[in-house]
Structure 1
Amino acid sequence: MRMIISPAKKMNTDTDILDYRKLPGWLAETEQLLQQLQGMSYDELKSLWKCNDAIAQLNEERIRHMQLTERLTPAIYSYEGIQYQYMAPGVFSKQELDYLEQHLRILSGFYGLLRPFDGVVPYRLEMQAKLAGPGFRSLYEFWGRRLADALFSETNCIVNLASKEYSKCITPYLEESTRFVTCVFGQLIGDKVVEKGTLVKMARGEMVRYMTEHQVASLEEIKHFDRMEFKYNKTLSDEHTYVFIQ
């Protein structure tokens, strides 16, 4: 079983917390993307990132001086988004961190597929960013089915806790032999399940934490998730989607 999650836009460098274990598995591809970004002007980068000047200046500076094998932070500690805050990996035990390393995978537009303790540097490159280069018109086209194939080589059971932007790297290549279950966290308003962005990110982080603390080994165990007042709803769920209602 593997959980897949999205990265976060906000990142940090912390070389003191814990050492990274390995370099990312797609570093040659990352270097190719870095060279593409380094060849762009400030205005082109700002347009690509769709951000304000402060964020654009910070990330342009990062790109101009980026070294992919120096001052690395384990990915799980580098990302600072809401999902990662609620996951709270900083207080996991060694056993829990080992479970996380085995079972969690982070999808990244820049790095491809990351293990939690792969060493990364801060970057800004969303999967849906309109980056084109030699032989590719988008990051989806750049990565193709490589990330899905790598994931399928590890497991035939995937718990999807990623946004649609990132799970789209996997879903077009699903095989009949692969069980792919998306977790939905929402509120029942009338007869519709309504998902609220921030709440969903919080719940995804809590689900990773729950699975890690309980060393979850089967899909059936996920249904017992009860944090943030969420409860599994059997009626609204099916074999491909587990719906949790608050």
Structure 2
Amino acid sequence: MQIIISPAKKMRIDNDDLVSAAEPRFLKDTEILLAELRKMQYDDLKKLWQCNDEIAALNYKRLQTMRLRANLTPAVLAYDGIQYQYMAPRVFENAQLDYVAEHLNILSGFYGILKAMDGVVPYRLEMQAKLPAAGCKNLYDFWGSRLYFELTQNDKSILNLASKEYSKVIEKYLTPEVEYVSCIFGIWQDGKVKVKATEAKMARGEMVRWCAEHNILHIEDTKKFDRLGYKYQKEQSTAKEFVFLKN
């Protein structure tokens, strides 16, 4: 089973706790994107990033000094969003680190797809950003089917814990022999499932932690997840979507 999750916008440098074990699979493509970003003026980058001046200035400075093979942080420690806070990889034991190293995949507009221990640097580039590169009009076109085939070359079972912005880069290329299940975390309100973005991010991170703690190898076993008040709901679920609701 392979797990896919989204990155986070906020990143940190942390190369003291763990040593990154590998170079990202698509680093040469990342170099292409970096070259395109460096060609852009500050105002155009700010528009591409859709952020305020403080964040734009920080990331503009990062672009000028970015070195893709130095001062690296393992990907699972580099992102600092809500999902990663609830995953809490910094307090993983060795067995849990081994689990995420083998089963966790982070989808990225800048790096394409990352294993947990791949070494990265702080960047800002969402998958939905309209950045033309290598004759492609946006990042979905740039990455194409390569991330899907990288993900499924050795494993035909995917647990989707990523947002729609990122999971669509995989879903577009799904073939029948691949088992692909998305987890929905929400509440039952007015006769339907309602998803709150922040709580869903918390649950996705907690699901990764739970899978690592229990060495979950089969998607069917994720139905046993019971953290943060969530329980699997058979009536609302399908073969392609597992629904977990809070009591």
Give the TM interval when normalised to the shorter protein.
over 0.9
* C-alpha separation in 1, matches of 2:223 and 2:86: 19
Does 1:214 pair with 2:214?
yes
Q: Aligned partners of 2:75, 2:240: CA distance in 1, in Å?
A: 28
Counterpart of 1:23 in 2: which secondary structure? coil
Deviation at 1:38, TM superposition (A): 0.2
2:7 is the alignment partner of 1:10: no
1:27 aligns with: 27
Note the alpha carbon deviations across 1:163-190, whole angstroms, 9 max, x for none.
Answer: 0000011001001000000000000002
Contact in 1 for aligned 2:32/2:133 (Cα 8 Å):
no
CA RMSD, 1 decimal: 0.6
Partner of 2:147: 147
Please give the alpha-carbon distance, in whole angstroms, between the structure 2 residues aligned to 1:217 and 1:121: 30
User: Who is 1:234 aligned against?
Assistant: 234
Pairing of 1:157-236 with structure 2 (within 5 A): 157-236=157-236
Q: Match for 1:173: what amino acid?
A: Y
Partners of 1:151 and 1:133 lie apart in 2 by 23
* DSSP-derived class of the 2:193 partner: strand
Long gaps (5+) in structure 2: none
2:48 partner SS: helix
Tell whether the 8 Å contact from 2:42 to 2:60 is kept in structure 1 after alignment: yes
The offset of 1:146, in angstroms, is: 0.3
Matched residue type, 1:240: K
Deviating beyond 4 angstroms after TM superposition, the runs of 4 or more aligned structure 1 residues are none
The answer (yes or no) to whether the contact 2:186–2:244 under 8 Å persists in 1 is: yes
When normalised by structure 1's length, the TM-score is 0.99
CA distance in 2, matches of 1:133, 1:245: 41
What letter corresponds to residue 128 of structure 1 in structure 2? Answer: Q
Q: What does residue range 60-75 of structure 1 map to in structure 2 within 5 Å?
A: 60-75=60-75
Single out whichever of 29-38 and 87-96 deviates more from structure 2: 87-96
Superposed CA deviations along residues 144-179 of structure 1, whole A, max 9, x for unmatched, are: 000001111021100000000000110010010000
Distance 1:85 1:231 in 2: 21
* Cα distance change of structure 1 residues 134 and 218 upon mapping to structure 2, 3 Å threshold: closer
Q: Does 1:76 align with 2:48?
A: no
- Give the deviation of 1:68 after TM superposition: 0.3
Q: CA deviation at 1:217?
A: 1.3
Q: Shift in Å at residue 133 of structure 1?
A: 2.6
1:50 equivalent in structure 2: 50
Partner of 2:107: 107
> CA offsets, 1:27-48, max 9 Å, x none?
1000000000000000000000
Q: Which amino acid aligns with 1:223?
A: K
Q: For residues 140 and 230 of structure 2, what CA distance do their matches in structure 1 show?
A: 33
Opposite residue 227 of structure 1, the aligned amino acid is R
Partner of 2:137: 137
Quick check: 148-157 or 81-90, which moved more?
148-157
Write the letter of the residue equivalent to 1:147: L
How many angstroms apart in 1 are the aligned matches of 2:219 and 2:111?
A: 28
Q: How does 1:113-124 map to 2 (within 5 A)?
A: 113-124=113-124
5+ long unaligned stretches in structure 1: none
- Distance in structure 2 (CA, Å) of the matches to 1:191 and 1:154: 40
